Amino acid sequence: MPLVRLAEHFERLPGIGKKSAQRLAFHVLNMPKDRAEDFARCILEAREKIHRCACCQNLTDQPLCEICADPKRDGSVICVVEDPQDVLAFERTKEYHGKYHVLHGLISPMAGIGPEQLYLKELLARIPKEGVQEVIMATNPTVEGEATAMYLAKLLKPLGVKTTRLAYGIPVGGNLEYADEVTLYRALSGRSEI
């Protein structure tokens, strides 16, 4: 029965349980016909048309992504992130005007991901070509994120480019009481004058 199969598809998506999947399947059933058709088309098109940007490896349906193609973006700074989602997160701040480089993963011996599986070569090639002055390491503050940042910093050193990383500290609106020891220590050691 197609309804059961549709619910199974929803259930396989991350963060959706059996009951939600069922509710979503019934919702699709009650959608206007053209919207359901567009939904189905988007699933197929997203897979067919989306590929990596030739420059920064972010996802796009153009040869170059919007950010790489934008002449107003500062090409002297590259922010290195793990995933395309991270690019969206930085773009939401509206405060970053440089470019990006998406690694599509982190070095993780546990998961069998070595440096050669990430888009590091492509990043190194961009440094002289685009006259990059600074590379900001914006990988997640996890073991893998740290290891990848360190590894990359070593590769970048001989190229004479400045390498920085995001500040660690208390999240804005967060509560000191609930901050873990490591975060608190990092916030303390990274303190600045006011």
Site for a second copy in 172-191 (CB under 8 A): none
Minimum distance between the CB of residue 143 and a second copy, rounded to whole angstroms? 22
Neighbours of 21 (CB within 10 A): 18
CA–CA dist 179, 103 (Å, integer): 29
Contact with a second copy (CB under 8 A): which of 54, 63, 69, 88? 88
Helix axes 18-29, 2-12, angle to 10 degrees: 130
Name the phi and psi angles at 63, rounded to 5.
-60, -45
Span of 2-10, 110-118, 129-137, 146-154 interacting with a second copy by CB under 8 A: 2-10
Site for a second copy in 17-76 (CB under 8 A): 20, 22-29, 31, 33, 35-47, 49-50, 59-61
* Single-letter code of the amino acid located at 57: Q
Burial 112-139 (b: 16+ CB within 10 A, else e): ebebeebbbebbbebbeeeebeebbbbb
Check binding of 137 to a second copy (CB under 8 A).
Answer: no
Q: Select 21 or 123, whichever has its Cβ closest to a second copy.
A: 21
- Residue ranges in contact with a second copy by CB under 8 A: 1-3, 5-6, 9, 12-16, 20, 22-29, 31, 33, 35-47, 49-50, 59-61, 83-85, 88
